[in-house]
Amino acid sequence: MSKVVKFGGSSLASAEQFVKVGNIIKADRDRRYVVPSAPGKRFPKDKKVTDMLYSCYATATGKGGREKMIAELNDIKARYTEIITGLKLNVSLEDDFKKIAEDFLNKSGRDYAASRGEYLNGKLMAAYLGWDFIDSAEVIKFKENGEFDSDKTNEILSKRLKESVHAVIPGFYGSLPDGKIKTFSRGGSDITGSIVARACKADVYENWTDVSGFLIADPRIIDNPAGIETITYKELRELSYMGAGVLHEDAIFPVRSEGIPINIRNTNSPEDNGTWIVESTCQKSKYTITGVAGKKGFCSINIEKDMMNSEIGFGRKVLQAFEDNGISFEHMPSGIDTMTIFVHQDEFMDKEQQVVAAIHRLADPDTIEIEADLALIAVVGRGMKSTRGTAGRIFSALAHANVNVKMIDQGSSELNIIIGVANEDFETAIRAIYDIFVTARI
């Protein structure tokens, strides 16, 4: 077998954490390729190295001056020195930091600055394990427009990995055609791990972090929520979009195309099985729902017009008003004579009157009503398809909790149900849904 293992920032924040990671890697000889993040927080009020690098670069390119920049860079160097000393490594990063200082003063770019956290941690990890180090800039490629070049990367990376039995490939960054560093969005080391897994045709992609997999609900809302043993790519996509963390939502795409499962594991509790993310499964979930997640900060625009359903192109005209103003919509439930558009409130507020005017001009509705401060909640689960009365149970639970439902929208896949409630009812609604489907079963 072949496994790719990615470790998050909290897993590599100190020498002590490095030792845990090293033990995990050595415990399974199938773990052949490692993708490290930059050092994260060692304690709650600590700083992530990536944030320190962003700040240092801003100082270098602003009015902070060289001396202040060097002082900030020395603070970052101290983090790595602490790891080197703790691991008793015969490694020096002096030349690397000299080059980083020069590059910062030459305005090498924020992406370059941010990437150095992973780059340096990758070098330390390779030295600690005695494995090959592969600079991601050489094997992860982006197009001139900044779009990830999947095909070219897979070709170059596959060839390079065949030359190494074991290797460390830093996460988060790659390079543009001109050689300039380009990063993925924050949390992009998850994506790098997935890309590496695809390139070496791994049997499993293990993503190690500081939690034992996905939970059915947000632990900040539900005390000790149950864990998710197995989740499909589609379910994960729905929950990640609605704010469920742990894994970058774009990390599923490279491995999904190859049918490679992802295993979310806990560096601090390696004995836990974690959560398996798979394309499909015959395993039934313990509960009807796989998870419930949501976000606050939406508003709805309700458009009414008699005989709307018989007017060809009406929906297109309404959506054009949003497109022309650079606003994407989240959901669009409709009735015979009504259509409701849900959008992010912060994107919509400054352009609301332009959008309203454009809808009137393009679609000639009878009335338009706007409601703000709404939350959307996604109830997701492959078990809902084969279970009767799921929507009814949700309505019942919310009614007993005195939560007024503003909107309900079920996709044709029967994989998820989206519910709209007032912001102030968000936590209450999450608890009510969790209780009816999970607590009542325990």
Indicate whether 51 belongs to any domain: yes
Mean pLDDT for the stretch of residues 298-314? 94
Domain end (from 182, 210, 238): 210
> How far is residue 113's CA from residue 183's CA, in Å, rounded to a whole number?
10
Q: What is the pLDDT of residues 29-79, one digit of tens each?
A: 999 999 999 999 999 999 999 999 999 999 999 877 789 999 999 999 999
The whole-number pLDDT of residue 188 equals: 85
Q: Residue 40 is encoded by which pair of tokens?
A: 């994260």
- Examine the domain organization and report whether 67 and 160 are in the same domain: yes
Comparing 117-131, 146-160, 177-191, 271-285, the range with the smallest average pLDDT is: 271-285
pLDDT at residue 311 above 80? yes
Indicate whether 90 belongs to any domain: yes
Greater confidence, 363 or 253? 363
- Examine the domain organization and report whether 7 and 138 are in the same domain: yes
Domain end (from 210, 244, 260): 210
Q: What is the pLDDT of residues 193-204, one digit of tens each?
A: 999 999 999 999
pLDDT at residue 318 above 70? yes
Domain end (from 210, 229, 263): 210
- Examine the domain organization and report whether 302 and 179 are in the same domain: no
Nearest to 291 by CA among 337, 222, 355, 367: 222
The whole-number pLDDT of residue 18 equals: 97
Confidence of residue 282 (pLDDT cuts 50, 70, 90): confident
- Examine the domain organization and report whether 185 and 329 are in the same domain: no
Indicate whether 349 belongs to any domain: yes
Domain tally for the chain?
2
- Examine the domain organization and report whether 33 and 162 are in the same domain: yes
Indicate whether 112 belongs to any domain: yes
| CATH number (domain holding residue 414) | 3.30.2130.10
Indicate whether 261 belongs to any domain: no
Domain ranges, residue 298 = 291-441
pLDDT at residue 271 above 60? yes
pLDDT at residue 442 above 60? no
Q: What is the pLDDT of residues 367-426, one digit of tens each?
A: 999 999 999 999 999 888 778 888 889 999 999 999 999 988 876 667 889 999 999 999
Indicate whether 278 belongs to any domain: no
Indicate whether 386 belongs to any domain: yes
State the pTM of this model: 0.85
The whole-number pLDDT of residue 391 equals: 86
Indicate whether 163 belongs to any domain: yes
| CATH number (domain holding residue 175) | 3.40.1160.10
Confidence of residue 244 (pLDDT cuts 50, 70, 90): low
Average pLDDT over all residues of the chain: 93
pLDDT at residue 248 above 80? no
Q: What is the pLDDT of residues 106-142, one digit of tens each?
A: 999 999 999 999 999 999 999 999 999 999 999 999 9
